[in-house]
Homo-oligomer: A and B are copies of this chain.
Amino acid sequence: MIPNRPFRPTAATAREKLLEAAVRLVRAQGFAATSVDQLCGEAGVTKGAFFHHFPSKEALGVAAAEFWSASTGAFFADAPFHGFPDPVDRVLGYIDLRIALIGGRAEAFSCVAGTMVQEAFRSSAAIRMACEASIMGNAAALEEDLAAAIDRCGVSGTTAASLSRHVQAVIQGAFILAKTQPEDSAADLAREQLGHLRRYFAMLFHRIGEEIAS
């Protein structure tokens, strides 16, 4: 019983096209520098459609952060490192995956939430909170493994929550450093920085000797 709309080629409602366009454009130019007209052009949609789905540009920003959060959250939830028996391996596996995901231009691997919150943290509480939810949600996904690793290795002086935030901090910082570079060296610099994060955790969890950091 195929419903009444026989031709819906690749799904793609105007709303989704706008959110995907927002992710691309915000990553490359930031939120404030991206105009509604540009968003509509990139999405292949008219301005009327934009304001049909979003009451304001700010609301699009909030929705883009949530969309970003949902996409990345689903991706990392499915990743194979969750199957590792040792929690330390799961934590290092997450970092290794993040390193493997870095490549190409900065706008291809950088973070929408981190970019938006930097511009909008004071001017829009709604965007700030959506970005907080995205970044802290990513952090929380690693907290359980970190708690187990801390427990197993007897680490003191910090907490799983604090360490999970540090993962996100280093990732965000690595993206900023990458953006200072010309295209062809951006990814290398970002990977180098995540290498230090890996080394910090390897030392904390007594896995020194298997370093990658350069």
**A176→B117 contact, CB < 8 A:** yes
Which single residue of chain B is at the shortest CB-CB distance from A209? B157
**B119→A33 contact, CB < 8 A:** yes
**A177→B115 contact, CB < 8 A:** no
Chain B residues closer than 8 Å to A119, beta-carbon distance: 29-30, 32-33, 115, 118-119
Chain B residues closer than 8 Å to A118, beta-carbon distance: 30, 114-115, 118-119, 176, 179
**A158→B214 contact, CB < 8 A:** yes
**A170→B170 contact, CB < 8 A:** yes
Q: How far is the CA of A171 from the CA of B122 in the complex (A)?
A: 20
**A177→B135 contact, CB < 8 A:** yes
Q: How far is the CA of A164 from the CA of B135 in the complex (A)?
A: 25
Chain B residues closer than 8 Å to A166, beta-carbon distance: 193, 196
Residue in contact with A172 in the complex, picked from B121, B123, B173, B203, CB distance below 8 Å: B173
Q: A158-B214, A203-B203 are in contact. Are A180 and B107 (CB under 8 A)?
A: no
Chain B residues closer than 8 Å to A200, beta-carbon distance: 196, 199-200, 203
Residue tally, chain A, CB below 8 Å to B = 51
**B162→A29 contact, CB < 8 A:** no
Chain B residues closer than 8 Å to A204, beta-carbon distance: 203
**B211→A176 contact, CB < 8 A:** no
Taking the complex as formed, is A174 at the interface, i.e. its CB lies under 8 A from any CB of chain B? yes
1/0 contact trace for A186-202 toward B, CB 8 Å?
00010011001001100
Q: How far is the CA of A114 from the CA of B131 in the complex (A)?
A: 18
**B180→A121 contact, CB < 8 A:** yes
In the complex, besides A107-B122, A196-B200, 11 extra interface pairs with C-beta distance below 8 angstroms are: A33-B123, A117-B179, A118-B119, A118-B176, A119-B119, A121-B180, A136-B180, A162-B192, A162-B196, A165-B193, A169-B176
Binding site for B on A (CB under 8 A): 28-30, 32-33, 106-107, 114-115, 117-123, 128, 131-132, 135-136, 157-159, 162-163, 165-166, 168-174, 176-177, 179-181, 189, 192-193, 196, 199-200, 203-204, 211, 213-214
